[in-house]
Structure formats: C-alpha cells, structure tokens
Amino acid sequence: MELMKHHHLGILDYGKFMRTFSPIILKRLSLKAILCVVFLSLSSSVAFGADDVKKVKRIVARLHLEMMQLKEKSSKLASEQLALLEPQNAKIETLTRSNLKLTETISSLKFKISLLEEKLVEYQRKSSSSQLSELNQFATILALASVGETSTLEALVLELINKGSNLQKDLLILLLAETQKNKGLMELSLGYYGALISDYPNSPYRSRSIFEASELLGKLGQDEEQKSLLLALKESDDPYGEMARGKICHELYIEDPICGGVLFGELIYTEWVWFKNGDEKIHSRYEGEIKNGVPNGKGTLFFPNGEKQEVEFKDGQF
C-alpha cells in the first residue's frame, strides 16, 4: 500500500525508494519479488516520460504553427506596408527630381544675377559720370545765359537735347525759346515754342509755351494764329489760362462765351445756385465771364435792390 501511494504521487524516486524501503523489503520479500518491484517502478517511470514527450511535441507543434502564422501575418503586413510606401517613394523620387531642377535653376539665376549686378555697377558708374557731365554742361549754359553770352549757348543746349539722357528736354527747349526771344529772334523763338507744344503735350511748360507763342504771333501781326492759340488755352486753370482769358475778353475782345453772358443766381445759405432764366426782382443777375454754365472770372453782379458789385468768381463761387 505504501508503494502504491507513492506511485500515485508522481514519478517514483528510485534511489530514495531503495534507501527507504530496501531494508524492509529485503527482510520480507524474496529475490523474485524484489525484481518485480524494481521492474514495475522502472516501467512506471518510462511510461510517464513518454507522455511528457508527447505533450512537449504537441506544444512544439503548436508553437511551430503559431510561428508560421506569425510569419505569414508578418509577410502580409510587410507587403501592405510596401504597397503603401510605393506611392510615397514615387512622390519622393518626383520631389527629388524637382529639387534637382530647382537647384539647377537657382544656380543659373544666381549666375545671371551676378552678371546683372556687374552690368548694373558698370552702368551706374557710366551713368553717374554721364549725369555729372551733363549737369556741368547745363551749369555752363545757365552761366552763359545769366551774363548774356548766348553765342555758344544754343549749340550747347542742342547737344544736350540730342545726346543727353538725364535732363528734361522740354525744359531745355523752353530755355532755348526764352533765350532767343530775349535776343529779339522772335521767329526762331517761335519755332522752339512750337516744338515744345507739339512734341511734349504733357509737359508742365506747355501752357506757358502756348501763351508766349501767342504773344509772339501778335507782335508778328499774325492775329488769327494768335487768337487760335489763346482760344486753345482759355479752358486752362493755370495762370497762363487766366492770362489768355484776359487777353480774349478785355484786350482783343474776341467774341466767345467765356467772355460774357448773363446768368441769374440765388445765394442759398453760403453757396450760389445759377440758372439761365430768372426774375430780376427776386434773383441776382450776373454779367461777365462764364465757364461750364457758371460764373468764372470777372463780371458784374446786379442785386434785386438795385445795387451792383464788381466781382470775380471761381467755378460759380466767390
């Protein structure tokens, strides 16, 4: 019974068994019985070892299967990752090529910019020297004009006009016209004024040139041409336009709407309101220069109470 109890507890420790029970067994059992007991213990131990091996084999087989499944999943995941990376790799390659092209373009631009900078420095050097030379020549011209030495002045000015690039050519032409006028060379001066009027329509000196040319035409007895120039200047708001209107209306007495007319007006608060027809008993009457339908320039204002006043309007207002 003691032997069976130990057998059920696990693998029998043969050495321990022999040390513990051999004295008792030897006393009670025969040699044949001893051999049977030993055989049974060995058989039990061998049988139990075989079951463990089977279990281990099953575990190994299961682990091997799991490992194969993991390998398959890993391979599938790697394939999916590669599939995802392929477009990105294509983009990376495209970006790499684009970067290379941009790098080449930038290098080319840097080279061109360096060339342009060199040319700019050279141009500035030449321009500065050219500008300085022209300014020196212009200073010489002004000096000659100030002392009345004009014999060589025209040639110097014409040289600046034809070859220079840093000074206003319309101003140089005006200088020539004024110089020739002061010398009494009216026809030559008139030619320069005419050149400025026709060639430089946006010049700030155009109104002056028109008025001065009209004055020369009057002195040369060309009255119709003079009137034509003055009438071309009558709408101008600058001082030369005002001078032209004065000539038209008060010196040459050219019949023109700008020289006079009659308007009726009424002062409402602080502003005048004008109309063509009115009642002298209740409205003020204006006789004088008119522009754009309202008093503009000199005239006379007659009030309903019989008083009158010499006035000068600008765009319909005092």
What is the helix (H) or strand (E) element at residue 299, kind and residue range?
strand 294-302
Q: In 3-state terms, the chain is what percent helix, strand and coil (to 5)?
A: 70, 10, 20
Domains in the chain: boundaries? 2-75, 182-257, 260-313
pTM over 0.75: no
Q: For the segment 134-179, what is each residue's pLDDT rounded down to a tens digit? A: 777 777 777 777 777 777 888 888 888 888 777 788 988 998 899 8
First vs last Cα of the chain: how many Å apart? 146
Residue closest to 233 by CA, chosen among 274, 291, 169: 291
Q: For the segment 111-139, what is each residue's pLDDT rounded down to a tens digit? A: 667 666 666 566 556 556 777 777 777 77
